[in-house]
């Protein structure tokens, strides 16, 4: 009557696909342990790794809000004890809140004998995202739930699909020790986009999908340009352009902000290059005394 679930970190936006592209990595990730109770209460028993920042109020925590919405929706009065082990920093741009949201609702569905299919859990996990940052975007929760590279084709109605990725495509992720609040990083964006930028962005979005599906690494790299979001958000990340240059010089196919930042990700062909890219990015941050954590991963 107890289950332990791992939910991975995710890179949202993936350069050109603001709010529509996301991918799951194999590390880091959060861990949730859910245990069935005899009553119908939802109790957060323990949270580790959050430095005491997260609330244990089940109506406000991203791990439990999706569970509560899910139970309401299926008409269940089940109760659970919840233990959450955070393995990545909050406000990191690594989809920290999404990982918790997905792990919680996935675990509850498993313990209740899978009344819903995996994909049907998505709207509930998105409610966790709304609690965390005010917007129920799906580009972190969808890949955390489904795995791989995911496209949110439409939000209303919700329509998501997975895109196959080339075997040798690796992700270097770096999390510098600076905090960027997702809410703030969304507020500074403009609501209007010029026709020219929209055209360029659509070209890159199409190029990315075609590149992934045909294992055309050059096309993937050329498509990793964001004309709309990165120019605005990069001002929130100290040394962003230097770090990006360092990644490109070390052989990356492309490099951009992971989610709302401050984490930065790069794509490379082959693990060896991806390791070099991660080291180059870390060294660049260290020149201005910013400590950073790196991860090298496949898209999983
Ligand atoms: N697409 C969202 C954003 C992801 O960039 O605001 C946040 O992690």
pLDDT tens digits, residue range 92-124? 999 999 999 999 999 999 999 999 999 999 999
53-80 pLDDT tens trace: 999 999 999 999 999 999 999 999 999 9
Instruction: Determine if residue 92 is labeled as part of a ligand binding site.
Output: yes
**Most ligand 1 atoms within 8 A of CB, residue of 14, 102, 138, 140 to mutate:** 140
Residue 184 confidence (pLDDT):
86
**Calculated CA dihedral for residues 148, 154, 159, 161, nearest 10 degrees:** -30
Query: Among residues 296, 289, 72, 54, which one has the least CA distance to residue 174?
Result: 296
Task: Tokens for 52, please give them.
Answer: 């005491």
Is the pTM here over 0.90, yes or no? yes
Is residue 174 within 8 A of residue 28, CB to CB? The reply is no
Among 10, 31, 64, 129, the one annotated catalytic: 129
Query: Among residues 10, 15, 111, 31, which one has the least CA distance to residue 70?
Result: 111
Instruction: Determine if residue 268 is labeled as part of a ligand binding site.
Output: no
Interval between CA 112 and ligand 1 midpoint (Å): 31
Ligand 1, residues at Cβ distance < 6 Å:
12-13, 18-19, 93, 95, 137, 139-140, 182, 185-186, 259-260
Catalytic-residue membership of 129: yes
Catalytic-residue membership of 273: no
Instruction: Determine if residue 99 is labeled as part of a ligand binding site.
Output: yes
Instruction: Determine if residue 96 is labeled as part of a ligand binding site.
Output: yes
- What is the pLDDT tens value at each position of the chain, 300 positions in all? 999 999 999 999 999 999 999 999 999 999 999 999 999 999 999 999 999 999 999 999 999 999 999 999 999 999 999 999 999 888 899 999 999 999 999 999 999 999 999 999 999 999 998 988 888 899 999 999 999 999 999 999 999 999 999 999 999 999 999 988 878 888 999 999 999 999 999 999 999 999 999 999 999 999 999 999 999 999 999 999 999 999 999 999 999 999 999 999 999 999 999 999 999 999 999 999 999 999 999 999
Residue 136 confidence (pLDDT):
87
Residue 135 confidence (pLDDT):
83
Q: What residue has token string 């004998």?
A: 113
Interval between CA 40 and ligand 1 midpoint (Å): 34
Q: What residue has token string 């028993």?
A: 45
Interval between CA 50 and ligand 1 midpoint (Å): 20
């Amino acid at each position: 009557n107890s289950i332990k679930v791992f939910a991975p970190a995710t890179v949202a936006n993936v350069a050109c696909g603001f709010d529509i592209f996301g991918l799951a990595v194999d590390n880091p990730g959060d861990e949730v342990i859910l245990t069935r109770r005899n009553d119908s209460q939802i109790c957060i028993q323990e949270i580790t790794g959050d430095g005491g920042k997260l609330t244990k109020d089940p109506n406000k925590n991203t791990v439990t809000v999706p569970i509560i919405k899910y139970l309401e929706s299926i008409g269940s009065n089940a109760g659970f004890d919840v233990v959450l082990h955070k393995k990545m920093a909050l406000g990191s741009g690594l989809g920290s809140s999404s990982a918790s949201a997905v792990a919680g609702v996935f675990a509850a569905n498993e313990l209740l004998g899978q009344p819903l299919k995996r994909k049907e859990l998505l709207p509930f996990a998105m409610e966790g995202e709304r609690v965390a940052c005010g917007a129920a975007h799906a580009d972190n929760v969808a890949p955390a739930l489904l795995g791989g590279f995911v496209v949110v084709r439409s939000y209303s109605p919700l329509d998501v699909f997975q895109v196959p990725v080339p075997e040798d495509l690796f992700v270097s992720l770096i999390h510098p020790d600076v905090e960027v609040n997702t809410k703030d990083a969304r507020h500074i964006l403009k609501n209007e986009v010029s026709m020219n930028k929209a055209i360029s962005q659509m070209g890159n979005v199409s190029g990315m999908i075609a590149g992934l599906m045909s294992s055309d690494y050059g096309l993937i790299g050329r498509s990793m340009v964001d004309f709309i979001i990165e120019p605005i958000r990069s001002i929130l990340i100290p040394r962003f352009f230097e770090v990006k240059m360092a990644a490109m010089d070390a052989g990356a196919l492309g490099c951009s902000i992971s989610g709302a930042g401050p984490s930065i990700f790069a794509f490379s062909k082959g693990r060896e290059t991806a390791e070099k890219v991660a080291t180059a990015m870390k060294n660049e941050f260290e020149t201005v005394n910013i400590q950073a954590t790196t991860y090298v991963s496949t898209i999983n």
